[in-house]
Structure 1
């Protein structure tokens, strides 16, 4: 007996309901003219810890809300398998991340255009950053005021935070009120969060929930995409839809009258292209897949921020540690329920900083400073005694890795090899960044409160010892990008053109963080929102036969970052 199969037909088929997918589902269905299908392998975003900001600590390795990815063992990271969290479910990684909202340096985006991604410069992209956000702290003309993602300041930071800010100024860092609108020199500031009151403002909550009743938008969860379907040969390859599988084993064909859009992220998108026969022939041959479209750049160019943390024991001033256990935690839960305040509204960090190691001409290390300390210096469980942690990462790492399948079995996890610290400059920068963190803790405003450095401690005194500590303990900051690089030349490793169309395949696009030619110096979620917003306009303009794109009219003043 033939297996029963299901068929769905739409104008646009979007694979992946993460940050980019949610944006696209909203924007492409807005005029009611096009039927849009959004496919997500995970489930609905119902888990309560998704929506409580501090809940992210319990989600990074959650068995059903993440993919459970780990990196391949690599020598420069002491042959460790490092947890590589990627969200699974509506909202994707925006439902599990640390909620930190940081726009990039203007030069980060301008570099994309300089490398061949025409039109992707900061001036053109700035309006889309603004369109995606509602900045809740007033009506600054340089910020968005009516976007789907709510952005706010950290509420009621512990007393130690003010001391850290002053210490930063003593170190020579400029204290800035809004790091997302000011010129980016060495500086210290409070992080902003994608939070609305007591609740996380994920891409699903901001973009998808408000339009769920649209009759031309259908969201399918727990539907796993196996491959892109194509027809034609050679230069006439055309994407026609995707083949999917339900948990019951039922095969589902989702056909696209106009386009297939892959928004499955830095791991999922190259994996799906390779399973479909689009990629490096050598990789595909080894996986037992016939090459249909040779694109050697698929899965290469993986970039990520690698963070290493210093932890300090603190005395005589409040931190988050002592409020996160026992009766004190019960009070914090009550405070959150009653007033939407307290440590449950905190996220990955409270204070941020840009600093210069002197190895490059621009600030090259970013700090994530938390008013608490984690056991063994890694995000997870807070220590019982008062503590403080300084995480540091190199903002523009030179190391490049890859993501590749090893089998034609669509259920098998691909190899994730970031090659952390493989470049000499990266190693020098992490050492210098850790030393800057120690200098910060040794400023007059913090000296009275710092009992001592608990991790790595005084035994890590030399550059060699600090580097070894970083190799033993560093981890991802969940900022992986670049595996489907944007640019004009497929022979140079580019996978999509400046309109995010896959080279060599008609009616197939990639719209997510994997298209970044180089990563932004800062946190990446704000930029993925921007990419999807701008891509939606590119696509809708093409429907009108216009391949040019004028940024949306803004009343805001120019951005100076």
Structure 2
């Protein structure tokens, strides 16, 4: 069945896709279709910041992916939640507003030229943001679609963590998106008045009244159609029917670092030998599609608190639940308004490193895994991750059936420097926990536990307990004309293919030093300008 033609079709209504569709349609020049595999963002758990403990496991809004068993992680498959709903991962993530380091983007210029330097991308970060406090206007925006709030009420555990870090020489930092990322402090969050500020809320709600923007949900794209080597539309499944859309000007892939390369390979763009193994006709031999996979691997240290001040205590009692419910209802504050991770730390643990290479997420609760049921005791978590891992993985087809999820091979800890950084980061977390005033709030270490003391013991803990912190990138990376593994050029156009672009985290040549939601939105802001030019 055929539907009406559009100028542009955007595949994936995630962090970047929402920005692309809204910006392309805002001046009325183009007829735009935004197509999303998941439903509309109507679940109340999406909009309540602490609700991502629910959406983490909800198959209605979450792809609930698993990696292949990873030999470097004791043969374990690792759970990879990914957004399948309007807003994508911005509707189910931890709400942390981090852009990365200026040096990250300056390094991107090796692949994408000066237009991807920090000086060039900073205006797009500012354009996407409404920051609610009076801070440095050189770094922050005041009228963008994404609302960013500071955490206004401190917590004794986070305050103690920051003070202990300070006693170890790590300075306090009140703005990790300012001139310097180094330090410890409270995260800024993508929230507005105690509610989540997702890409769907920020970009799509204002655009929904536009006659030239069509949003189609619960629609699984099965392939991109081509006329020769030019993209001309898509096929998709909805309500048991096979449908199609045609694009006059082009197709934009914003399906994320897993599903963008998956859809490209299903459509005949990828490593030729691999496509032939699955009986797929090769339109273009592109060895870089699905390669270069990078992700942040987290290690979660869990401590018992000697005072009933944790979110565990609130969630494990009826009076506690009533208290945090009233906090949210009366003042849009408390645990329901800020999610799970509040405390931040960026510093270096690698000898000779001139900038932070590890990140901490400190949560006032504890559970067996991120988004799991909280422990029955007073507990909190220090999660540590290496910011710029050297290990590289890949995305590969499971079959030629679009309904089969691709195989994810992260290859965590396959590089020696990554293993050393993991051990050093865990040791730093322990040093902070053993330093006053945080030391005075700790009853004991639950994980890794006192038996893990040697480097070998700590590395074994990392292999047996490490998990994604939900930042896969770089599987269709940008590069210059002479780069055989580049999938897109600096303008995000797919190499050698007409009318096909990519705008999501898959185009990053290297993973950024921090959370990936804001960088994905920045990429989504940039592509429409390339197209309009």
Report the TM-score range of the alignment, normalised by the length of the smaller protein.
over 0.9
Counterpart in the other structure of 2:329: 337
- Count of aligned pairs: 530
- Contact 2:488/2:495 (<8 A) preserved: yes
Structure 1 counterpart SS, 2:244: strand
Rounded Cα–Cα distance in structure 2 between residues aligned with 1:251 and 1:385: 51
Shift of the alpha carbon at 1:359?
A: 3.4
TM-score of the superposed pair, with normalisation by structure 1: 0.92
Rounded Cα–Cα distance in structure 2 between residues aligned with 1:322 and 1:8: 55
2:155 to 158, 161, 171: 158
Shift of the alpha carbon at 1:378?
A: 4.5
- Contact 2:340/2:364 (<8 A) preserved: no
Q: Deviations over 1:77-136 (max 9, x none)?
A: 111111111100100000000000012111101111123445211100000000001001
Consecutive unaligned residues in structure 1, runs of 5 or more:
542-561
Counterpart in the other structure of 2:317: 326
Counterpart in the other structure of 1:391: 383
Counterpart in the other structure of 1:549: none
Rounded Cα–Cα distance in structure 1 between residues aligned with 2:30 and 2:158: 49
1:348/1:540 CA distance change after superposition, 3 Å: farther
Rounded Cα–Cα distance in structure 2 between residues aligned with 1:229 and 1:387: 52
1:14/1:378 CA distance change after superposition, 3 Å: closer
| Structure 1 residue 228 corresponds to structure 2 residue 219 | no
- Contact 2:423/2:455 (<8 A) preserved: yes
Rounded Cα–Cα distance in structure 1 between residues aligned with 2:440 and 2:172: 21
Counterpart in the other structure of 2:357: 364
- Contact 2:350/2:421 (<8 A) preserved: no
Rounded Cα–Cα distance in structure 2 between residues aligned with 1:387 and 1:313: 5
Shift of the alpha carbon at 1:138?
A: 2.1
Counterpart in the other structure of 2:193: 197
Q: Deviations over 1:416-448 (max 9, x none)?
A: 111111111101100000000000001121222
Rounded Cα–Cα distance in structure 2 between residues aligned with 1:133 and 1:400: 32
Q: Deviations over 1:229-284 (max 9, x none)?
A: 0012xxxx111011111122x22111011111010111110011000000000110
1:293 to 284, 291, 302: 284
Counterpart in the other structure of 2:54: 58
Shift of the alpha carbon at 1:341?
A: 1.6
- Contact 1:158/1:320 (<8 A) preserved: no
1:457 to 449, 468, 492: 449
Counterpart in the other structure of 1:552: none
| Structure 1 residue 174 corresponds to structure 2 residue 171 | yes
Counterpart in the other structure of 2:63: 67
Counterpart in the other structure of 2:438: 446
2:338 to 346, 359, 366: 346
1:157/1:325 CA distance change after superposition, 3 Å: farther
| Structure 1 residue 274 corresponds to structure 2 residue 274 | no
2:426 to 398, 415, 434: 434
- Contact 1:307/1:475 (<8 A) preserved: yes
1:425/1:139 CA distance change after superposition, 3 Å: closer
The correspondence of residues 394-413 of structure 1 with structure 2, limited to 5 A, is 394-413=386-405
The correspondence of residues 74-89 of structure 1 with structure 2, limited to 5 A, is 74-89=70-85
Rounded Cα–Cα distance in structure 1 between residues aligned with 2:75 and 2:113: 36
Q: Deviations over 1:462-492 (max 9, x none)?
A: 1111111111111001100000010124753
Rounded Cα–Cα distance in structure 1 between residues aligned with 2:207 and 2:370: 38
- Contact 2:340/2:365 (<8 A) preserved: no
Rounded Cα–Cα distance in structure 2 between residues aligned with 1:220 and 1:454: 47
| Structure 1 residue 138 corresponds to structure 2 residue 126 | no
| Structure 1 residue 493 corresponds to structure 2 residue 482 | no
Rounded Cα–Cα distance in structure 2 between residues aligned with 1:417 and 1:227: 23
Rounded Cα–Cα distance in structure 2 between residues aligned with 1:140 and 1:532: 24
- Contact 1:305/1:476 (<8 A) preserved: yes
- Contact 1:259/1:507 (<8 A) preserved: yes
TM-score of the superposed pair, with normalisation by structure 2: 0.97
Structure 1 counterpart SS, 2:487: coil
Rounded Cα–Cα distance in structure 1 between residues aligned with 2:409 and 2:510: 17
Q: Deviations over 1:181-222 (max 9, x none)?
A: 13233x101101000012100000000011101000000111
Rounded Cα–Cα distance in structure 1 between residues aligned with 2:153 and 2:316: 19
The correspondence of residues 299-318 of structure 1 with structure 2, limited to 5 A, is 299-316=290-307, 318=309
Structure 1 counterpart SS, 2:65: coil
- Contact 1:175/1:189 (<8 A) preserved: yes
Structure 1 counterpart SS, 2:375: coil
Rounded Cα–Cα distance in structure 2 between residues aligned with 1:390 and 1:379: 14
- Contact 1:99/1:348 (<8 A) preserved: no
